[in-house]
Chains A and B, each alone.
Chain A
Amino acid sequence: QKEVEQDPGPLSVPEGAIVSLNCTYSNSAFQYFMWYRQYSRKGPELLMYTYSSGNKEDGRFTAQVDKSSKYISLFIRDSQPSDSATYLCAMMAGNDMRFGAGTRLTVKP
């Protein structure tokens, strides 16, 4: 079993849809959780950074962490074609950082 599991997709939705991206993990030591967005031929760009359980909202994006279930989510409201990218979850415990495989999202106009 991988330490971080993420469905690679691909995921295709119509413009305006609510998107839900998820990761599960096995190491309970992870305390910090991130979502990165990666456009084609670009580096991963930090989108959301959260600590511990709960929700964090930033515009159309909401990051949710459930440490008891070892499950994190990223919700995108009113999705736009410009949201089309690969989304990677990442988590940290001290110096140890692990990435999910990434979910490829396409938002169709």
Chain B
Amino acid sequence: DAGVIQSPRHEVTEMGQEVTLRCKPISGHNSLFWYRQTMMRGLELLIYFNNNVPIDDSGMPEDRFSAKMPNASFSTLKIQPSEPRDSAVYFCASSLTLVGNQPQHFGDGTRLSIL
């Protein structure tokens, strides 16, 4: 079974550049989550979707961050313009549904470094 697939695995870019992170959830999963992980703050939920619709984006740190889910098998998280403090590991996770307290399954993350 293919798990959650994220790309790229690593991204190094200069401050001010646009960064786009990609995620393919597990087939059949209707809910998708974007997280950021740092040593200082641990795992933080940024935004989540249900049936391709954004449900809660209160964790998105600033307007520089945006996320889309154009279809059930693809989502993007975009940072524009990027800043050094955005450096972190970004994870995508998916679950079967939002209701029924279904557990989340994570991808292996994108390690982002902003110079």
Task: Say how far A33's CB is from chain B's closest CB, in angstroms.
Answer: 10
B80-104 interface bits toward A, Cβ cutoff 8 Å, 1 = contact, 0 = none: 0000000000010100001001011
Q: Which residues from A are CB-within-8-Å of B70? A: none
Question: Which has the most chain A C-beta neighbours within 10 Å: B4, B43, B55, B105?
Answer: B43
Q: Which residues from B are CB-within-8-Å of A31? A: 101
Q: A97-B45, A101-B42 are in contact. Are A92 and B111 (CB under 8 A)?
A: no
Report the number of A-B residue pairs with Cβ-Cβ less than 8 Å.
41
Q: Are A88 and B109 in contact (CB under 8 A)?
A: no
Alpha-carbon distance between A94 and B108 when the two chains are bound, in angstroms = 25
**Which residues of A in the span 80-95 have a Cβ within 8 Å of any Cβ on B?**
88, 92, 94-95
Task: Say how far A52's CB is from chain B's closest CB, in angstroms.
Answer: 11
Q: A95-B55, A99-B43 are in contact. Are A43 and B101 (CB under 8 A)?
A: no
Alpha-carbon distance between A94 and B107 when the two chains are bound, in angstroms = 22
Give B residues with C-beta under 8 Å from A: 4, 42-43, 45, 48, 55-56, 91, 93, 98, 101, 103-109, 111
- Write 19 A-B pairs (CB below 8 A) sorted by A numbering: A32-B103, A34-B103, A42-B108, A42-B109, A43-B4, A43-B91, A43-B107, A43-B109, A44-B106, A45-B106, A46-B103, A46-B105, A49-B103, A88-B43, A92-B101, A95-B55, A95-B98, A99-B42, A99-B43
Supplied contacts A42-B109, A49-B103, 10 more A-B pairs, CB within 8 Å: A32-B103, A34-B103, A36-B106, A43-B107, A51-B101, A88-B43, A95-B55, A97-B104, A99-B42, A100-B42
> 7 smallest A-B Cβ distances: which pairs?
A43-B106, A32-B101, A99-B43, A101-B42, A43-B108, A44-B106, A49-B103
